[in-house]
Chains A and B, each alone.
Chain A
Amino acid sequence: MKILICLSNVPDTTTKAKFVNDNTAFDTTGVQWIINPWDELALTRAIELKTDAANTIENITVITVGGKDAEPTMRKALAIGADDAVRIDVEPKDAYFVAAQIAEYLKSNPFDLIFSGIESADYNGSAVGGMVAEFLNAPSVSAVSGLNIEGGQVKITRDIDGGQEEVSVEMPAVLTVQKGIAKEPMIAAMRGIMMARKKPLNVVAPVEVEALTEIVNFEMPQPKPACKMIEPENVKELVDLLQNEAKVI
């Protein structure tokens, strides 16, 4: 079985959002880049499954659509335990554009399971995984919070609004993963970091695709009015404010 993990290179979650060029571009000055948290969990689960030989996972590949500046993050994934990496050499334009690039690669390089995260920490599109599946005319399961392999079949737990379901799916399939897929992200060991340098990171040329959306500009949230402080002995006053001023109870 071959597993592909779509990997998004995103600013560290504590990064303050700042913009340049008249609020049309994200200011990358001083930003630390990380593997999107969901993608890191997907990678972790794939490696866990691969350690059990019975699961016959031959290969775990990570793929990123992005410029050369995404490579340090991709190397991190190799250090954690991915076998190889593919970078499609183009700046992302929108989710449709990114998914089309990944799908094109998959047409000549088939995989059995394709993982994507439920949401990127930057553009919050929740889109790439489902789009890749539709491009490939392959089934997809979203909100995956558990994954096991039994006798060559995948057993999936997915969250539905207000519950959970056990799902099985024909392969190749795209799984969009979220909390629960793995407990803690795996951390690269020294040996892994050494080995990562020698693992293949293949750079692939993009295809012509037209984006369907375009970001015009960014805005900062409206500043919040200062927090109204209430004395701890005066909880009644708070309840009164919630009832009569905020009108939420």
Chain B
Amino acid sequence: MSVLVFTENWDGKFKKMSFELVSYASKIAEMLNTQTVALSIGDVQEDELKKLGNYAADKIVSVNNDKLNNLDNQAYTSVIAEVATKEEATVIIIAQNNMGKALAPRLSVKLKAGLGAGVSKLPASVEPFTIFKKVYSGKAYSNVVIKSDIKILTLAQNSFEFEENAKSHAIENFEPSVGDVKTSVSNVQKQTGKILLNDAEIVISGGRGMKSGDQWAPIEELAEVLGAATACSRPVSDEGWRPHEEHTGQTGKIIAPNLYIAAGISGAIQHLAGISSSKCIVAINTDKDAPIFEAADYGIIGDASKVLPDFIEAVKEIK
């Protein structure tokens, strides 16, 4: 028996999220009194693989195969399934991100394993296996029992407090049987040198209250001094004031940073659907009745064009 965790690397380096996943998997392994096996797909050096051991992986299975250079959902699924079967995994942990959403459902069918999508804490019990997940885009939660022998959980981003817990671990290179690959990738564009919205611990976001696209300098500067990413509400990206990648909410990105600062955003329910899992929300708005204040932890009733420059100065003083 084991708990298998699928990790992701970026150009051979693990993302913070992968450590969060391994740590989460190891806690479930403890509940089940079994071991944690971490799976890595790609060209990752041994030094890097070892880092997974720092988060309590007992075993690290490394797969490096040319057919897997690009994400083909079918091929990746069959590799994860093969390793899961080999390791007799009864629980499989995957991230609730683009890649996880592509793979977890396929794996669920392949292994006839019930899927708990977007969990944010440990199962309440393993017998029956009861998970807690958000529904209605964060307006409610549900307790769900997974009835199948094998369970798949996708972990919501930045939802689990993880810590280093180094363990002695084994590293194994594994050669899977990869079938036909039916997708091909021709052109890859990656953002470089920018903090990605989904990875950011702090996010500064602007809404229609910023008045126009050329009023964004204070938001960008505050992001710069705080080491934050920038985001926006949907009308802002619809107007072309900001790029579409920044749109957060029900129909945009769903994020969960430690700190979300909303300037000139009213707090419509569809906007909150994308940001309500943030640990701390700050709202700056001229309207004391704006619904964003109901979702916020700290609020300032004021003009963002005046408050933000003071904010930047105050942060500079403490940095």
Contact = CB atoms under 8 A, between A and B. Distances in A.
Contacts of A14: 269-270
Interface residues of A, number: 81
B34 interface: no
A50 B226 CA distance: 48
B105 A128 contact: yes
Contacts of B313: 235
Contacts of B109: 96, 99, 130-131, 134-135
B284 to A, nearest CB: 8
B186 A212 contact: no
B112 to A, nearest CB: 7
Nearest to A103: B109
Interface residues of A: mostly helix, strand, loop or mixed? mixed
A216 B247 contact: no
A81 interface: no
Contacts of A105: none
Interface in A188-221: 211-221
A151 interface: no
B280 A127 contact: no
Contacts of B184: 167-169
Contact of A162 (B154, B190, B202, B276): B190
- Residue among A139, A160, A170 with most chain B CB within 10 A: A160
Given A139-B74, A179-B252, A216-B130, A124 B144 contact: no
Interface string B90-112: 00000011110111111111101
Interface stretch (A55-63, A65-73, A83-91, A225-233): A225-233
A8 to B, nearest CB: 13
A161 B310 contact: no
B64 interface: no
A165 B250 CA distance: 23
A37 B251 contact: yes
Nearest to A246: B280
B98 A224 contact: no
B146 interface: yes
Contacts of B310: 235-236
A118 interface: yes
Interface stretch (B45-53, B54-62, B166-174, B301-309): B301-309
Interface residues of B: mostly helix, strand, loop or mixed? mixed
Contacts of B112: 212
Contact of A229 (B8, B186, B299): B299
A163 B105 contact: no
A161 B115 contact: no
Contacts of A137: 74
Given A94-B114, A165-B185, A227 B141 contact: no
A190 to B, nearest CB: 26
Contacts of B315: 239, 249
A10 to B, nearest CB: 9
Contact of B273 (A11, A13, A159, A170): A13
A140 B259 contact: no
**Category for how many chain B residues contact A:** 35 or more
A239 B311 contact: yes
A17 B191 CA distance: 37
Contacts of B103: 130
Interface in B286-309: 293-303, 306-307
B134 interface: yes
Contacts of A179: 244, 247, 251-252
A166 B118 contact: no
Contacts of A215: 142-144
A14 B265 CA distance: 17
B296 A227 contact: yes
Given A180-B244, A227-B297, A238-B282, A143 B182 contact: no
A145 to B, nearest CB: 8
B86 interface: no
A238 to B, nearest CB: 6
A121 B250 contact: yes
Nearest to A217: B143
Contacts of B116: 213
B60 to A, nearest CB: 21
Contacts of B183: 139, 141, 167-170
B137 A246 contact: no
Contact of A235 (B99, B148, B154, B300): B300
A143 B97 CA distance: 10
B141 A212 contact: no
B299 A160 contact: no
Nearest to A214: B145
Given A127-B108, A139-B72, A249-B259, 15 more contacts: A13-B250, A127-B105, A133-B74, A140-B74, A161-B10, A161-B98, A161-B198, A162-B191, A167-B183, A180-B244, A213-B146, A217-B142, A229-B299, A229-B300, A232-B301
